[in-house]
Amino acid sequence: MFLDEVTISLAGGNGGAGCVAFRREKFVAKGGPAGGDGGAGASIWLVANPSENTLLRYRFQREHSAPNGRPGEGSRRTGRSGETLELSVPLGTQVFDEDGTRLLADLVEAGERWQAAKGGRGGRGNAFFTTATRQAPRFAQPGEPGQQLRLKLVLKLLADVGLVGLPNAGKSTLISRISAAKPEIADYPFTTLVPNLGVVNTGDFRTFVVADIPGLIEGASEGRGLGDRFLRHVERCRVLAMLVDVSSSTEEDPLASLEVLEQELGAYSPELAVRDRVIVATKIDALDDPERLDSLRRAAAEREQPFLKISSATGAGLPQLVQALHSKVLERQNAASDPERP
């Protein structure tokens, strides 16, 4: 099960109390305060883990508490501090406040850490308060409470290429042919209910990651269909593959389908409106009217965007598509590493 949004409650560990104690030793003429400090409460850290791909674990365990610090002891012994609690989250996890209005952290690198809830400081023992004029203090500090808060975790998938299309455009079949992903495939709309990730091997010891996004419909940016909940997963993709069904089995006009996709992406995010993309005509094995393909080819030329035609059923055009997408990904990677490039 895929889960990309959850609210959790965190509580840092409480600090241990300081100790009130006095030294009493045989043959020692002078004793004195000997109460040690309490140990610090443990903090909670969120850690980006590439092995995680969903927030599902936090659906069943929403409350997390870090260990408390141990109280101080006599002979100036400091209590043991609580052991840090690390919570693994998938790469691409964003952390918001409880209301979801303020972004606190964005964990996109493997091993990246963020302190979510700070543990309380341990209290001072009475030995700490000894002065020249107060040589036998009979008090100590209590430990400070750990930080308590609620956070909203939102996952935005990290992928190089996002497959975008209307329902039944052939996205799931395509990702199953070019990667080892095994999404559900059927001949009815909205077969894909959750995003799927697949790793594509280009054949030269290089790979890139493809995300299969659930089908969009007109008004998706406003929440229709599966809505903008899944559009967020397109935001991090370097390249978009706009899949348009040109087969004669659908009544949808290919050019109108492309315009719907462009409109919804632009309405959701102005950045997506100008994101690098490739226009892909799918299901050419079931094409009876060549004009359906030609109209889409002309639209791609007008937009100055690459155009490819494929059939996931027969495999026609898939090697060319993989190479075109890989070239686009490398181009965007090089542009990101060179600030002077557009």
Query: How does pLDDT run along the chain (342 residues), one tens digit per residue?
Result: 457 789 999 999 999 999 999 987 777 667 789 999 999 999 999 999 988 878 888 988 999 999 999 999 998 999 999 999 999 998 889 999 999 889 999 999 999 999 999 999 999 999 999 998 998 899 999 999 999 999 999 988 778 898 988 888 888 889 889 988 775 554 544 444 567 778 888 877 788 888 887 766 565 455 544 545 667 778 888 899 999 999 887 778 999 999 988 988 888 888 888 889 999 999 999 888 889 999 999 999 999 999 999 999 899 999 999 999 999 998 887 876 554 544
Q: Do 8 and 63 touch, CB atoms closer than 8 A? A: yes
β-pairing, 44-48 vs 207-212, is unpaired
113 vs 94: CA distance, rounded Å: 12
Q: Do domains 5-155 and 161-337 have the same CATH topology?
A: no
The answer to whether the beta carbons of residues 77 and 35 sit under 8 Å apart is: no
- CA distances for 164 relative to 26, 119, 214, 245, angstroms: 81, 44, 8, 12
The two three-digit tokens of residue 300, written as one number? 């791609």
- Which residues sit opposite 228 in a β-bridge? none
Architecture of domain 161-337: 3-Layer(aba) Sandwich (3.40)
Nearest in space to 43 (alpha carbons), one of 105, 150, 120: 120
- Domain layout of the chain by residue ranges: 5-155, 161-337
Does domain 5-155 correspond to CATH entry 2.70.210.12? yes
